[in-house]
Structure 1
Amino acid sequence: MKLKIVQEDPWLEAYKEEIYQRWVRFQLSRDELVNVAGSLSDFANGHHYFGINFDTKRHGWVYREWAPEADALYLIGDFNAWDRSAHPLVKDQWGIWEIFLPFEAYKERLVHKSLVKVHVKGGNTSLDRIPAYIRRVVQDEESKDFSGQLWFPDTPFSWTDHDFSPTYPIDGPLIYECHVGMGQEEEGVGSYTDFADNILPRVKKLGYNAIQLMAVMEHPYYGSFGYHVSNFFCPSSRFGTPEDLKYLVDSAHALGLAVIMDVVHSHAVQNVSEGLNAFDGSDHQYFHAGPRGYHEVWDSKLFDYGKWEVKRFLLSNLKYWLEEFHFDGFRFDGVTSMLYFHHGLITFDHFEKYFHKDVDWDAISYMQLANALIKEVKPGALSIAEEVSGMPGLCRKPEEGGIGFDYRMAMGIPDFYIKMLKEKPDESWDILEFWKELSDRRYREKTIAYAESHDQALVGDKSIAFWLMDKEMYFHMQVDDPNIIIDRGIALHKLFRLFTSSLGGEGYLNFMGNEFGHPEWIDFPREGNNWSYQYARRQWSLAEDPKLKYKYLLRWDQAMIHLLKKYGILPAAFAEQLHADPKNKVLIYQRAGLVFAFSFHPEASIPDYQFRAPAMGQYTLVLNSDDPEYGGFGRIQGTKSYFTDQNQRLSIYMTNRTALVFARVDE
């Protein structure tokens, strides 16, 4: 049987059997779960069974934990003065431990905000652990130890988002990538509520239709950016309570913003005291045993996606965030690492690298199940893959030979820009190379394009603004201070963003602050910087100061996002190249009925620059990066009309380092 992605791509013919088996394995793995549970959604109710839940029929609390190789488990906490022998759990034939605590006997002790752990004996160790399905953990300020915390407030959160409907099906995803903790300007850790009240209105004003929240899942080390997760069902207590996170999501929905969550199922923190590592005393409960279970580059543990209870844990985790916190989808971190036994740490220069011995079929089946579950629980939710290898079919349905994601991240674009800035002077840039990098993506697989994300702003690297302007940003960003380095930087910053958003994909992402060229890297408090929060924040006041040039970049971003939405650029078909002029570094293409003209030339400004338009008629200029409103030099008359000649050619003034967008005027 030849599936659709093979029919569409002759290069995949040699791998048609493996692609077919990808579909077969998905059906078998799905049927295995559905035949027992009734549906994927029912199978993903692990959080209602495991952990500490109130049983209304038995009228008491039930705590269950999967720990097949443990010798004994004891529930401990405030309620029993941390007695490690008073409350033993009983093990069944499947390795699931259980204890029942009657309400009448424990109603004064098992209360809201009580601290709990589980004492586990196994593998020649006896350790206090945090329950795997716990809903909240908190850190003691003095000892720095984490403990589970019972969380059942008297009044449930009152949602107001029942009529919310995301606009990304119409406009395409316009994603504002965020980190709550560093969202404020003051040095310190921001909160969910502060972010909701002060940052979300900024995002709305810019025109984005979704936020992507990083570092939501609890992580013991703040500087991990949330990617070394310890407690998968816990919103990070650094930023507030679970109700505070719900307030953030509800507030976003009230503004028309969808909320996408960075979910980390590719690996887990290897900390024993806070996380899942060696929970039952073995090295192979949730993770692979031995070297296969350890990621040397990330210093973290790797899940065994073939195990029944691991699949239940991770799938339940997705359903929990969708239902309990009303998230609108996920950006899956580290998908390349999940796909391959070598974790993508090779060069992908041949189709052979996507198949055969190096592919983790259990991981692929898990991702197919995850994407199917997301659509079953919340049909309009998005699933986005952070994936760099270019795995064919990643964003196609399983029945077409795919893995089921909606979008993949265009991770090569920011790397390309930084490579150009680091390695080549402007006069050596090849605009055909620019075109290839931005337009070369798999047929019918949707992409989220971005010029930079949080990765490019981390300490050790630099944001595009800093690559362009460096230390000059500290001294020459005043409006009345002309500076050729700043002029170049502002011009190219605008070009990179419009080039990316209009050409690079079917969605667009920006990391918070980069829209106005935030000048500093991100460096979380650590011993090497004396535990400073100086660089773990966003300096919003820079863009609000009328005396500084940051305002020009902010205005450009707002105008660009408005253009993308008004003309439906992201959902439109691939761009069509109209004109390429490597000598003058001019590239012109059309998409969504608009004509985009870019000059990357450092010096040449050419009057009467002619090219063949896509159709005869009158054209008008709808966006101009050289407009003084955006920090340009005002060399081009914005109100002028442009008419094609008898040969269907347009004549424009193509100034250097300028982006122009034209719309055809209807007759």
Structure 2
Amino acid sequence: MTTQTDIQGTAPPHSEIEAILRGRHGDPFRQLGMHRVGEDGPLVVNVFAPDATEVTVTDTKGGEIARLELIDREGFFHGRVGRDAPFAYRLKYRNHSGHEWSGADPYSFGPVLGEMDEHLLAEGRHEELYRRLGAHPMVHGGVEGTAFAVWAPNARRVSVVGHFNAWDGRRHAMRRRGATGVWEIFVPGIGQGEIYKFEILGAYGQVQPLKADPVGFAAEVPPAQASVVHGLPRHEWTDDGWIAARGGDMTTKPVSVYEVHLASWRRTLENGMLDYGEIARQLIDYVTEMGFTHVEFLPVTEHPFSGSWGYQPVGMFAPTSRFGSPEDFAGLVDSLHGAGIGVIVDWVPAHFPTDAHGLGQFDGTALYEHADPRQGFHKDWNTLIYNFGRAEVANFLRASATYWLKEFHVDALRVDAVASMLYLDYSRNDGEWIPNRYGGRENLDAIEFLKRTNQVARDYAPGALTIAEESTAWPGVSRPVDEGGLGFDFKWNMGWMNDTLRYMAEDPINRKYHHDKMTFGLHYAFSENFILPISHDEVVHGKGSMLGKMPGDDWQRFANLRAYYGFMWGHPGKKLLFMGSEFGQGREWNHDQSLDWHLLDDARHEGVRALVRDLNALYRDLPALHQRDCRPDGFRWIEGGDAEGSVFSFLRMGEDGTPPVAVISNMTPVVRERFRLGLPQAGSWQERLNSDAAVYGGSGVTNEGGIEADESQPMHGLPASAEIDLPPLATVFLTPA
């Protein structure tokens, strides 16, 4: 072993050492690790180890080669190694108490990112950038450890910190990869489960609050905020058949969605949250019984504040750790697929929170967001807005979409708050927004981002869907991009929801004055591929529950709700219902409590649940109710203008040869005996479902004896007509017998 005594002329300049000691060095790989001094000089090793009093260079088997000299008492070691050619080595440390430990030198490893990664990242075209950025356990140079990479182009220095280095940002300062703005380092000896953050010396010389990994795959359970080394999810998928069979023209298939907030769907008796595995076991049984085709989860992306329900995410690549690991979430999706249930997740690219450990001012500049609050801040939600015009930011978000669809086999992304993305003046007064380059209010960058995201989603996850929550009359939301649209598969019909709920809130005696609220939606029902949403937003913030919106005494409230659900399931458009609404929960939804499952002991609530179950079965079984949900030839009014009677009657039609379905809704508490309506063919008809049936808690006014339509009295422009007993506050479905 060589002992170092002569370091004159081989040690780094004092200014370089001082910069490392002060955490101000922007290129530590230039000094730390093994280097040759000059072109033909000796090989030296420089090490920063502030908790060591001795550092020795060893070979990979532990044989001592050179003892380094402490040339700065804060822990900078330097020395020659006495060999002519570079070699693989390890470091052995000893502290003042005599404790010894050893490990590979993080500054002895070359880059992990390749030139193609650099090229794609710089251009914003790395659609699977999560395979390179983030924390990836791996074997590098024959050594186990974790490769870290993060985008922070304006930073002066970026370090990865954690328990493994006493949260000291000087110890694992990263290598900058040229013009890409990406920093990387391979840290030997740490792996799955290690917690970490990034310490960033910002553009203006200030150390930023410690930042969670933007591309982290797992995180600590909130309120803790660190990222967790995890790597890509490792799950042995069993849903090949499901993935191969999904897709096609979903506008012609039944889509009935059960929207779920995982933390409050069900809880244990101790009011504890279920984990992903228990959710899978209970939810599959329930959704299967109820006949929903899909579940939609409120955002599962990691979020610090539970009260945001996930809509203020920090971890765009991390399933929330509240319910388990990424593999546990993958298992939930796999199990649902195995039961024939599709999975939709809410995805939030419209905004992000200002939490100090998040993306805001990430490298000391407005990196992910706009610097100008007129472009970069949502007053409504106190959140920041992504700079969609920056290629790297758009790429980051597209890669997140790809990640959920490809790596977790999610069947659809429901994109939140699309309207806030499309309009520069969204929820802003004059002078509070900046027009686009043409002087308009359209956010051209966001438009291009949405189009490209929808295209990339199809390329990377064939058969997967995208769904827009878009509340304005923006044209072509669900039209293909090559036809001038935004490229979504479906759009939530917010107008229908608002109009019909306002109608239902009216006392039945006044409904004749608001008849158009139920019929107006048919003027535009086929302008988009619509989903009819009764979502979480309708049962919070003082809006009350669905049952609570209904007027009248208890009997009328339940009857109104059943009649409304019947109208909804008969109406053109796919269906979505938020949890608890399917059994008429009485109180407003509280995200901190379980649903009131005990209400199912009450026959009235169980009746509502049974109705929704049977509506789903009818919707799936009768092609006329779903095949032409998004086409005008799938709908015809029988009588849409009966305002005085507050009765709505229409036909639903499927493909040629498919029996039609007549849907009649009486929105008054008056029984209409021998009510005559036109029908498309003579002969026997049968009542397939009646929301007033006793089994649902109704009064039992039904047409069990059968219905005969004849051609002697054509009516409503149809060749035949029949008389039925129309029950009070009810919806009836008829089909040819």
Indicate the TM-score class for this superposition, using the shorter chain for normalisation.
Answer: 0.7 to 0.9
Give the alignment partner of residue 554 of structure 1, picking from 585, 590, 609. Answer: 609
Rate the CA distance shift 1:286–1:522 in 2: closer, same or farther, 3 A: same
- Retained in 2: the 8 A contact 1:598–1:659? yes
**Other-structure match for 2:369:** 287
1:96-115, aligned counterparts within 5 Å? 96-101=181-186, 106-107=188-189, 110-115=190-195
**Other-structure match for 2:557:** 489
Rate the CA distance shift 1:272–1:58 in 2: closer, same or farther, 3 A: same
Rate the CA distance shift 1:433–1:70 in 2: closer, same or farther, 3 A: same
**Other-structure match for 1:159:** 237
Letter in 1 for 2:727: T
Rate the CA distance shift 1:307–1:42 in 2: closer, same or farther, 3 A: closer
1:556-571, aligned counterparts within 5 Å? 556-568=611-623, 569-571=625-627
Q: Distance in 2 between matches of 1:101 and 1:321?
A: 26
- Retained in 2: the 8 A contact 1:594–1:662? yes
Q: Distance in 2 between matches of 1:162 and 1:146?
A: 35
Rate the CA distance shift 1:238–1:185 in 2: closer, same or farther, 3 A: closer
Larger radius of gyration: 2
Shift of 1:651: 1.1
- Retained in 2: the 8 A contact 1:137–1:147? yes
Question: Could you list the runs of 5+ residues in structure 2 that have no partner in the other structure?
Answer: 1-115, 431-435, 654-659, 714-719
Shift of 1:172: 2.8
Q: Secondary structure at the match of 1:601?
A: coil
1:445 is aligned to 2:528? yes
Give the alignment partner of residue 335 of structure 2, picking from 245, 251, 266. Answer: 251
- Retained in 1: the 8 A contact 2:589–2:595? no
- Retained in 2: the 8 A contact 1:52–1:64? yes
- Retained in 2: the 8 A contact 1:294–1:302? yes
For residues 139-170 of structure 1, give each alpha carbon's deviation from its aligned partner in whole angstroms, at most 9, with x where no partner exists. 47xxx4311111259x9322211111348565
- Retained in 2: the 8 A contact 1:76–1:116? yes
1:520 is aligned to 2:601? no
**Other-structure match for 2:18:** none
Q: Secondary structure at the match of 1:69?
A: coil
Give the alignment partner of residue 148 of structure 2, picking from 42, 57, 63. Answer: 63
- Retained in 2: the 8 A contact 1:431–1:586? no
Letter in 1 for 2:166: A
1:224 is aligned to 2:308? yes
Shift of 1:432: 3.8
- Retained in 2: the 8 A contact 1:371–1:404? yes
1:445-594, aligned counterparts within 5 Å? 445-450=528-533, 452-468=534-550, 485-505=553-573, 507-524=574-591, 533=592, 536-543=593-600, 545=601, 547-568=602-623, 569-572=625-628, 573-574=631-632, 575-579=635-639, 580-592=641-653, 593-594=660-661
Rate the CA distance shift 1:430–1:558 in 2: closer, same or farther, 3 A: farther
For residues 227-270 of structure 1, give each alpha carbon's deviation from its aligned partner in whole angstroms, at most 9, with x where no partner exists. 01111111111121111111110110011001011000000011
Letter in 2 for 1:589: F
**Other-structure match for 2:111:** none
1:632-647, aligned counterparts within 5 Å? 632-647=698-713
- Retained in 2: the 8 A contact 1:621–1:639? no
Rate the CA distance shift 1:111–1:485 in 2: closer, same or farther, 3 A: same
Shift of 1:319: 1.1
Q: Distance in 1 between matches of 2:182 and 2:479?
A: 40
Letter in 2 for 1:557: V
Letter in 2 for 1:571: Q
- Retained in 2: the 8 A contact 1:51–1:63? yes
- Retained in 1: the 8 A contact 2:360–2:368? yes
Q: Distance in 2 between matches of 1:341 and 1:598?
A: 41
- Retained in 2: the 8 A contact 1:598–1:658? yes
Give the alignment partner of residue 611 of structure 1, picking from 655, 659, 677. Answer: 677
Q: Secondary structure at the match of 1:392?
A: coil
1:631 is aligned to 2:697? yes
Letter in 2 for 1:634: G
Letter in 2 for 1:515: E
**Other-structure match for 1:329:** 412
1:57-206, aligned counterparts within 5 Å? 58=141, 61-101=146-186, 106-107=188-189, 110-122=190-202, 123-126=204-207, 127-139=209-221, 144-152=223-231, 156-164=234-242, 165-166=245-246, 171-186=253-268, 187-206=271-290
For residues 43-66 of structure 1, give each alpha carbon's deviation from its aligned partner in whole angstroms, at most 9, with x where no partner exists. 311101111224667555332211
- Retained in 1: the 8 A contact 2:546–2:585? no
- Retained in 1: the 8 A contact 2:701–2:726? no
Q: Distance in 2 between matches of 1:627 and 1:656?
A: 11
Shift of 1:343: 2.0
Rate the CA distance shift 1:623–1:181 in 2: closer, same or farther, 3 A: same
Greater shift, 258-267 or 67-76, is seen at 67-76
TM-score, normalisation: structure 1: 0.83
**Other-structure match for 2:669:** 602
1:656 is aligned to 2:716? no
Q: Distance in 2 between matches of 1:508 and 1:305?
A: 31
**Other-structure match for 1:303:** 386
Letter in 1 for 2:604: K
- Retained in 2: the 8 A contact 1:41–1:319? no
Rate the CA distance shift 1:402–1:156 in 2: closer, same or farther, 3 A: closer
For residues 391-419 of structure 1, give each alpha carbon's deviation from its aligned partner in whole angstroms, at most 9, with x where no partner exists. 00111011111000011101123322443
Question: Could you list the runs of 5+ residues in structure 1 that have no partner in the other structure?
Answer: 1-32, 348-352, 470-483, 525-532
Letter in 1 for 2:682: M
TM-score, normalisation: structure 2: 0.75
Shift of 1:539: 2.1
Q: Distance in 1 between matches of 2:428 and 2:684?
A: 52
- Retained in 2: the 8 A contact 1:217–1:234? yes
> How many positions carry a matched residue from both structures?
586
Rate the CA distance shift 1:170–1:425 in 2: closer, same or farther, 3 A: closer
Q: Distance in 1 between matches of 2:176 and 2:391?
A: 18
Q: Distance in 2 between matches of 1:74 and 1:538?
A: 45
For residues 565-596 of structure 1, give each alpha carbon's deviation from its aligned partner in whole angstroms, at most 9, with x where no partner exists. 11121232432111132221111100021011
Q: Secondary structure at the match of 2:263?
A: helix
Letter in 1 for 2:536: H
Greater shift, 453-462 or 420-429, is seen at 420-429
Shift of 1:459: 3.8
Letter in 2 for 1:538: L
Q: Distance in 1 between matches of 2:319 and 2:661?
A: 43
- Retained in 2: the 8 A contact 1:69–1:95? no
- Retained in 2: the 8 A contact 1:261–1:329? yes
Rate the CA distance shift 1:513–1:41 in 2: closer, same or farther, 3 A: farther
Q: Distance in 2 between matches of 1:255 and 1:346?
A: 49
Letter in 2 for 1:510: L
Q: Which has the higher contact order (CA 8 A, sep 6+)?
A: 1
- Retained in 2: the 8 A contact 1:213–1:261? yes
Shift of 1:617: 2.7
- Retained in 1: the 8 A contact 2:493–2:532? yes
For residues 510-554 of structure 1, give each alpha carbon's deviation from its aligned partner in whole angstroms, at most 9, with x where no partner exists. 111111101121234xxxxxxxx4xx21122322x2x43211001
